[in-house]
């Protein structure tokens, strides 16, 4: 496998609560609480989890759009986590972002062509006399017609707007594209078109994606490696097929069982895991496993001792006391624990 384009080590993002401008914060929201992962060149690394798991905050921290509290963010070995001022501005062209809502991320008063051209200007991506040709090339690559350069965002469909956003993100030939729920605001048929376009662009341009989504179908379609986040930490991480064919963590099983399936055999084999209650507050993190309060298989140890993320199968890591060192689950899915 190729060297990582993105290397994240022990990333933490804590937001202060109270205290005003000069006072000491009364508490901290531990949105991301010590996660590590790497993304090899030309691959897609997915992060999945329910709302509040910290996946979008992770994306924003990698993009330097929120300040991280601790940890290291390396892009091709360069510490972009500590870059400031002119150094950060120069590095910006190497990592770009595609947001969830394409309409909100476009200036409604700028024509589509000017939006992409402005990105070229801001990032100094080539000589000014090459910008028109580059804009035309980006429109063609993303499936937009040349005459659409003169239109405003409101004159496009949702899928076409996301193509403009993609064209803008690719303007400076970035090493990394961070995608935060890039198709969740689109109709299902249009989602497939945009995802297939992103895969084609990855093959043609050698792109590397960090892909955030709550949709398991999208994650399975797009990603090579997948991390499952819960309450600010990674609870399971593996290659796509390993994770989908043999999920180990009870939270991963719960996510999988809640996802719809069009395969009758898969539906017949599936054992539905119904989680009770809501995730704990990220301000008051419980002792032990963060998932223990909702886990149907939790034991006393789970409420007292924090499980470490460890590799139990080749390339497959899990943070759960109920999974053995050989990757065998130590709980019976048909027999939930009574000691909760």
Q: Please, what's the largest Cα pairwise distance for the chain?
A: 71
User: The pTM is what?
Assistant: 0.92
Q: Dihedrals φ, ψ of 4, to 5°?
A: -70, 135
* Cα–Cα distances in angstroms (integers) from residue 83 to residues 63, 131, 160, 289, in the given order: 11, 28, 34, 34
Q: Is 170 exposed, middle or buried (0-12, 13-18, 19+ CB in 10 A)?
A: buried
How do the pLDDT tens digits run along the chain, 340 residues long? 567 999 999 999 999 988 766 778 889 999 999 999 999 999 999 999 999 999 999 999 999 999 999 999 999 999 999 999 999 988 999 999 999 888 898 999 999 999 999 999 998 888 999 999 999 999 999 999 999 999 999 999 999 999 999 999 999 999 999 999 999 888 888 999 999 999 999 999 999 999 999 999 899 999 999 999 999 999 999 999 999 999 999 999 999 887 765 455 554 445 677 777 788 999 999 999 999 999 999 999 999 999 999 999 999 999 999 999 999 998 887 776 654 4
């Amino acid at each position: 496998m190729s060297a990582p384009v993105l290397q994240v080590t022990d990333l933490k993002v804590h937001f202060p609560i109270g205290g005003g401008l000069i006072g000491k914060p009364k508490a901290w929201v531990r949105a991301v609480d010590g996660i590590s992962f790497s993304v090899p060149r030309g691959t897609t690394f997915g992060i999945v989890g329910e709302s509040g798991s910290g996946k979008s905050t992770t994306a924003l921290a990698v993009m330097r759009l929120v300040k991280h509290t601790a940890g290291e963010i390396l892009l091709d070995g360069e510490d972009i986590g500590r870059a400031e001022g002119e150094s950060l501005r120069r590095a910006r062209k190497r990592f770009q972002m595609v947001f969830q809502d394409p309409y909100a991320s476009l200036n409604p008063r700028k024509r589509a062509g000017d939006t992409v051209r402005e990105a070229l200007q801001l990032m100094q991506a080539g000589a000014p006399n090459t910008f028109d040709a580059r804009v035309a090339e980006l429109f063609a690559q993303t499936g937009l017609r040349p005459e659409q350069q003169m239109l405003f965002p409101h004159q496009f469909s949702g899928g076409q707007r996301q193509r403009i956003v993609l064209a803008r993100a690719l303007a400076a030939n970035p090493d990394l594209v961070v995608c935060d729920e890039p198709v969740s605001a689109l109709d299902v048929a249009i989602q497939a078109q945009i995802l297939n376009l992103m895969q084609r662009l990855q093959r043609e341009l050698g792109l590397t994606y960090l892909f955030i989504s709550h949709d398991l179908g999208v994650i399975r379609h797009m990603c090579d490696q997948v991390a499952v986040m819960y309450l600010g930490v990674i609870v399971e991480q593996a290659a796509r097929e390993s994770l989908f064919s043999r999920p180990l963590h009870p939270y991963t099983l719960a996510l999988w069982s809640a996802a719809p399936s069009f395969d009758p055999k898969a539906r017949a084999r599936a054992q539905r895991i119904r989680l009770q209650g809501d995730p704990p507050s990220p301000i008051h993190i419980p002792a032990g496993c963060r998932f223990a309060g909702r886990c149907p298989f939790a034991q006393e140890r789970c409420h007292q001792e924090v499980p470490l993320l460890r590799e139990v199968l080749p390339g497959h890591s899990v943070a759960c006391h109920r999974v053995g060192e050989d990757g065998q689950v130590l709980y019976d899915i048909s027999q939930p624990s009574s000691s909760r």
